[in-house]
Amino acid sequence: MGFKRKLREAVALNNSLLCVGLDPDPELMPAGLSIAQFNREIIDATKDLVCAYKPNLAFFEAEGIEGLRALEETRSYIPSHIPVIGDAKRGDIGNTANKYAYALFESFGFDAATVNPYLGLDSVAPFFNYCDKGVFLLCRTSNPSARDFQDLVVDGQPLYEHVAMKAIEWNLYGNIGLVVGATYPEELSRLRELCPTMPFLIPGIGHQGGDLPEVVRRGTDKFGMQAVINSSRAVLYASAGSDFAAAARSIATISRDEINIYRPSMTEPGVE
């Protein structure tokens, strides 16, 4: 099953646009838990509330070989009907990109991945060629310094708009999406205008301060779809105590339900 269909079915099953980012930080986790155990309990607490999970590879790689084993265990534990987005932000020349794509889609079996398009088409085409996988290109990121490069005006348009236009041009297999931060609502609106049917991965709610009603109104398509709205720390570290999983469920429930309040109520078209 292709990523887009799998995502639509998970959205429908759990009535959710919420993605939980899995960013396991031993300094913030309750004492005595392994990364894999922590993730399992978070997944058990939220698997009926999400449309996707997004493991951030940096948090696993930081723990060396044991972290990679935990990533493999975590990927295997996530229910098969829920899409998993490997948040790796890879980007390199073509032959290296081939290996990155193989690692994320074959070795770890992610349904989608985040990719940096800065090196151009030959660096991202190996990801696109996995036609049944989703590829989210970094476009307008949520961090404060995003403006350093992404707002640079090129031929009368900010650079992030050029990225979006290239994404449309490159989207031969219909598997490209954009990473668009919740912390820049005006840019989110503009990108939705440019890419009305493209899926957006939207980080930046919760601890980064994105305004959830604005994100939903500006980031979803006219059917209240095509947005994967990510929350990581706010869910994972809702409590540092033994009740962390219950606290995570509570925050995830509140987030899922608040997103649904602001979603357009139009009926979506048939699943692709």
Active site residues: 89
Beta bridge partners, 76, equal: none
The Cα 107–Cα 96 span in angstroms is 15
The Cα 86–Cα 80 span in angstroms is 15
The two beta strands, 157-158 and 153-154, are: antiparallel
DSSP 193-235: HHSTTS-EEE--BGGG-B-HHHHHHHHS-TTS-SEEEEE-HHH
Cβ of 261: how many Cβ atoms within 10 Å?
A: 9
> Which tokens sit at 152?
């640079």
Classify residue 28 by its DSSP letter: T
Distances in whole angstroms, Cα of residue 18 to Cα of each of 54, 83, 215, 235: 11, 12, 12, 11
